[in-house]
Amino acid sequence: MDRLTKFMRETAALAEARLGGFIPNADMRPEILHQAMRYAALGGGKRLRPVITLASFEAGGGREAERSRALDAGCAIELLHSYSLTHDDLPAMDNDVMRRNRLTCHKAFGEAVAILAGDALQTLAFRVMAAASGALAEIAVGELAAAAGSTGMAGGQALDLEGEGKAQAVEEIERIDRWKTGAVFTCCCRVGAILAGSGDDKLAALTAYGNSLGVLYQITDDILDLTADAKTIGKTPGKDKAAGKLTYPAALGLDGAREMAAEKSSLAKTAIGHFGKEALYLRLLADFLLDRIDIA
Amino acid sequence: MDRLTKFMRETAALAEARLGGFIPNADMRPEILHQAMRYAALGGGKRLRPVITLASFEAGGGREAERSRALDAGCAIELLHSYSLTHDDLPAMDNDVMRRNRLTCHKAFGEAVAILAGDALQTLAFRVMAAASGALAEIAVGELAAAAGSTGMAGGQALDLEGEGKAQAVEEIERIDRWKTGAVFTCCCRVGAILAGSGDDKLAALTAYGNSLGVLYQITDDILDLTADAKTIGKTPGKDKAAGKLTYPAALGLDGAREMAAEKSSLAKTAIGHFGKEALYLRLLADFLLDRIDIA
């Protein structure tokens, strides 16, 4: 097993265990809400956000004693991600029925519970981030909120819904994705660096890395939606096209989208080019996301 | 004008101005999302949560220089409240069409935008709380999250939906309301006290006050739903009964509910009986909420 795979598997396992502890047990009242939260947030996935957070913490020179804080901060971002998937799948939004090879949350638990589960997962994300960041809570919670809010993830989803069925230039697609997906990737890098005590220069470099990585992720996500089968990506393929969504392959063609992905991967690595071996995992991640064939 | 009315009006005006500054302008992208957030959170109401937060800050002996922090923290709680109303009104939840004498957010902006507006208002609540509480962010954000989450406000809403149409003992109703409404009232008191630098004794007293005040608020809310007309309460009356909701008047009769309200008002005042004149507004609030005839 190569080093990145080992790091990713170990981190995913650690994150899964921490997440399972953060969400109240399924036999605690209200049982159905906790069942739905656990259904939406647990049980797999690559846990890419904790992976990126932890890799950025290491690249930022974080101390071993603070490592579990960085892991928990990454889990907070993962909880935020779970909330967004749960709400994005709702009938009024993307109206999807499959996610991670299972029924979406509202299909399994009903719409009211799915809305509340998403709401409570967002709340939990902030609770975990505040506890993980301790004396740095003002900054770290602010970073998470900026990435998640109306000029971040939620705003990107609004722009995405608004843009459905309209032809758009690639610049507009990139802008939407920078908000919708990229802001959260960048948040992983920034929070990892902040918890590592990185100075302004390192923080700026890791921010630039995160920006490129976020676009890279979205391009390959769009490509997979077009080319992969349902089992591989764990959700309904071809949805983007059916919904008339703005995608990179639609704007640039498949080859053009692949070229742009390669460029973003390269830009990500350049941003941290002056880092030493402490940034190894981040470099490998930029390759991994370019080459991936299944959804993280 | 009596002293409480003056304090409430001044605080509401200050809170309205702060809230208007926290939510991005309606001409900022995504415009429709910011319009919906402003629609849901601005334009009236008594701003009871900032009022209680500021009154608790004063009761806790807060310094004048920190007063605007406490106001902002109260505004954060108000943003959380706005998010919860927006989501509670959704078709899959309470399916209501009127709120504050206007169409509910999803009726005015559509369901997808209303879900996102609620989501982004919750995010903003945490952003504002983190900034307002500064060095105390870990504690204050933790308080807000505990009040809002699956064993607080969101959990109470889940229990409430679950309990519809079932006969319930008053103890169960009180438990649900303690989560659904009470936790946020108590959060106002605790965060106000924490930002004031209150010691454990004062914090415990203000917590007890908040617990009683929250139940008091919900009882009078239930009574008004039964007895007031739509214009007075600004939303559809008789909804609780139509939905088969658990309410205090349904469990205790109207007179029994009024008696329980009087008892909770008295308990709230007793909890802060040893405070001096710095707790004047809190005492007056416990009377005001007992006597109110329109929804705060």
CA distance B221 to chain A (A): 22
How are the residues of chain B apportioned to helix, strand and coil, as percentages rounded to the nearest 5? 75, 0, 25
> Under an 8 A CB cutoff, do B123 and A127 touch?
no
- Please state, rounded to an integer, the average pLDDT across all residues of chain A: 93
Tens digits of residue pLDDT in B35-44: 999 999 998 7
User: What count of other Cβ atoms lies within 10 Å of the Cβ of residue A7?
Assistant: 19
Based on DSSP, count helices (H) and strands (E) in chain B, helices before strands.
Answer: 15, 2
Give yes or no for residue B53 having a pLDDT over 70. yes
Q: Residue A239: is it exposed, middle or buried by C-beta count within 10 angstroms (0-12/13-18/19+)?
A: middle
What does the pLDDT average to over A198-222?
A: 96
Q: Name every chain A residue with its beta carbon within 8 A of the beta carbon of B32.
A: 158, 162
What is the C-alpha separation between B59 and A14, in angstroms, rounded? 44
Query: How large is the average pLDDT for residues A64-91?
Result: 98
> Which of B32, B96, B109, B119 should one mutate to test binding to chain A, selecting the residue with the greatest count of A CBs within 10 A?
B119
User: What is the CATH code of the structural domain delimited by A3-291?
Assistant: 1.10.600.10
Distance to chain A for B138, nearest Cα, Å: 5
Confidence of residue B232 (pLDDT cuts 50, 70, 90): low
Q: Residues A273-286: pLDDT tens digits?
A: 999 999 999 999 99
- Is residue A14 within 8 Å of A72, Cβ to Cβ? no
How high is the pLDDT of residue A232?
Answer: 67
Please compute the mean of the pLDDT values over residues A166-189 and round it to a whole number.
Answer: 91
Residue range B3-286 in CATH 3.40.120.10: no
**pLDDT band for position B240 (cuts 50, 70, 90):** confident
- Domain segments of chain A: what residues? 3-291
Please name every residue paired with B102 in a beta bridge, in sequence order, or none if there are none: B99
DSSP letter at B292?
Answer: -
Q: Would you call B116 and A24 a contact, using CB atoms and an 8 Å cutoff?
A: no
The reply to whether residue A150 touches residue B32, judged by beta carbons under 8 angstroms, is no
> Which chain B positions have a beta carbon within 8 Å of A28's beta carbon?
151
Percentage above 90 pLDDT, chain B: 82
ipTM for the complex?
0.96
Q: Which of B44, B140, B34, B171 is nearest to B101 (CA)?
A: B44
* Token couple for B242: 């139509």
- Environment class of B254 (CB within 10 Å of its CB; exposed 0-12, middle 13-18, buried 19+): middle
Q: What is the pLDDT of residue A164?
A: 78
Probe site for chain B from A37, A93, A138 (most B CB atoms < 10 A): A138
pLDDT at B46: 92
List, in order, residues 6 or more apart from B212 with CB less than 8 Å away: B264, B265, B267, B268, B271, B286
**What does the pLDDT average to over A85-110?**
96
What is d(CA B38, CA B28) in angstroms, rounded to the nearest whole number? 12
Distance from CA of A78 to the nearest CA of B (A): 15
Say what the pLDDT of residue B164 is.
78
Mean pLDDT score, B5-16: 98
Lowest mean pLDDT among A123-132, B167-176, B225-234, B249-258: B225-234
The whole-angstrom distance between B203's CA and the closest CA on chain A is: 20
CB contact under 8 A, B149 and A93: no
User: CB B112 to CB A92 under 8 A?
Assistant: yes
